[in-house]
């Protein structure tokens, strides 16, 4: 496709990720119109060839494809509601992080206003956008994804389509962010506990990487257990897991370190044991956590 035939694209919102999206479209040769509440954030993009629109509605009128990436669904609504007439008959790709429920609500709103709507989730940092490290997930109407796939390839050449449910990309995102932030929080707690025992973060780091190397193995193994509904405790049981958690809590409390997250983990693990599954693998905890969430 020649540069002259590249799809015109609009980018709404120019935070760090919005700017990265706009730069990727520009680098791929797409005529790119941008809008942001604070217009000065577009200065560098304009210098690189982007067109700054005075309003979100004006930006939406620049082409058939608009991409929005802002702080949350509330910010999306505040922008697109003002530009609803301009977006009618066009495609809005929403790459804003939020919950599956709000993704579905936005899809319903878009449908009511005659806007083709494709939600997505960006799973990698700004530096990855436009190169092979990018990972963007999409859900919603497959026809829309296929139609705009050539233009969206400027952001992520290997974009993944997950299905028709508009909340499915967001559901993947919140689950993966759960894993990420729980892991980061655990790492920070480990550093705090180590420092309390006069171990520097740098001294612990090589061993922390070794623990991290175990995670990919556990991801596949536990996924198999959960999907099959079978939880063999051949290598490690939930009872032994509880003992390990108790040791960390005791050591933390002795050094005056917050144990709120660990106490919650202990309660969940104990629930597995109390239900008669103490000899199962800790993967059984996934079921226990679901049971603990009220229906609806």
To which CATH superfamily is domain 6-164 assigned? NAD(P)-binding Rossmann-like Domain (3.40.50.720)
The answer to whether the beta carbons of residues 22 and 130 sit under 8 Å apart is no
Token pair for residue 157? 């050449």
pLDDT of the residue at 126: 97
pLDDT of the residue at 90: 98
Q: Is the pLDDT of residue 1 over 60?
A: no
pLDDT tens digit sequence for 53-66: 999 999 999 999 99
- Kindly report the backbone phi and psi dihedral angles of residue 218, in degrees, each rounded to the nearest multiple of 5, phi listed first: -70, -35
pLDDT tens digit sequence for 264-282: 999 999 999 999 999 999 9
- The H-or-E segment that residue 47 falls in is helix 43-47
Q: Residue 50: which of 86, 71, 76, 24 has the closest Cα?
A: 24
For the segment 36-43, the average pLDDT, to the nearest whole number, is: 96
pLDDT tens digit sequence for 121-131: 999 999 999 99
Q: Write the CATH number of the domain with boundaries 197-291.
A: 1.10.1040.10
Q: Is the pLDDT of residue 188 over 80?
A: yes
Say whether pTM exceeds 0.85: yes
Percent of the chain past pLDDT 70, that is, above it, reads: 96
pLDDT tens digit sequence for 115-164: 999 999 999 999 999 999 999 999 999 999 999 999 999 999 999 999 99
pLDDT of the residue at 51: 98
| Domain-wise residue ranges, the chain | 6-164, 197-291
25 or 292: whose pLDDT is higher? Answer: 25
For the segment 97-113, the average pLDDT, to the nearest whole number, is: 97
Residue 15 burial by Cβ neighbours in a 10 Å radius (0-12, 13-18, 19+): middle
Tokens 């049981």, residue?
237
Q: What integer best gives the mean pLDDT of the chain?
A: 95
Count CA atoms within 13 Å of residue 276 on its CB side: 0
For the segment 229-241, the average pLDDT, to the nearest whole number, is: 94
For the segment 212-221, the average pLDDT, to the nearest whole number, is: 93
The length of the chain is 296
Burial 69-97 (b: 16+ CB within 10 A, else e): bbeebebbeebbeebbebbeebbbbbbbb
């Amino acid at each position: 496709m020649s540069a002259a035939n590249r799809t015109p694209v609009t980018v709404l919102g120019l935070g760090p990720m919005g700017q990265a999206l706009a730069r990727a479209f520009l680098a791929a040769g797409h005529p790119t119109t941008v809008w942001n509440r604070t217009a000065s954030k577009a200065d560098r993009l304009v210098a690189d060839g982007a067109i700054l629109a005075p309003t979100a509605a004006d930006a939406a009128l620049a082409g058939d494809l608009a991409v929005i990436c802002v702080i949350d669904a509330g910010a999306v609504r505040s922008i697109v509601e003002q530009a609803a007439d301009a977006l009618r008959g066009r495609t809005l790709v929403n790459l804003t992080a939020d919950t599956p429920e709000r993704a579905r609500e936005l899809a319903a709103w878009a449908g009511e206003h005659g806007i083709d709507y494709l939600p997505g989730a960006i799973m990698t940092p700004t530096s990855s956008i436009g190169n092979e490290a990018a990972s963007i997930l999409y859900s919603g109407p497959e026809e829309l994804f296929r139609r705009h796939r050539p233009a969206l390839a400027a952001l992520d050449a290997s974009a993944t389509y997950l299905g028709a449910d508009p909340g499915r990309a967001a559901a993947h995102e919140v689950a993966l962010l759960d894993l990420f932030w729980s892991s980061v929080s655990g790492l920070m707690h480990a550093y705090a506990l180590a420092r309390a025992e006069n171990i520097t973060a740098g001294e612990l780091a090589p061993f922390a990487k070794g623990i991290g190397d175990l995670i990919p193995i556990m991801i596949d193994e536990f996924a198999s257990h959960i999907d099959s509904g079978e939880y063999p405790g051949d290598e490690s049981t939930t009872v032994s897991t509880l003992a390990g958690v108790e040791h960390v809590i005791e050591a933390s409390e002795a050094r005056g370190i917050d144990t709120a997250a660990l106490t919650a983990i202990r309660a969940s693990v104990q629930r597995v044991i109390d239900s008669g599954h103490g000899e199962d693998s800790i993967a059984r905890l996934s079921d226990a956590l679901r049971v603990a969430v009220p229906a609806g």
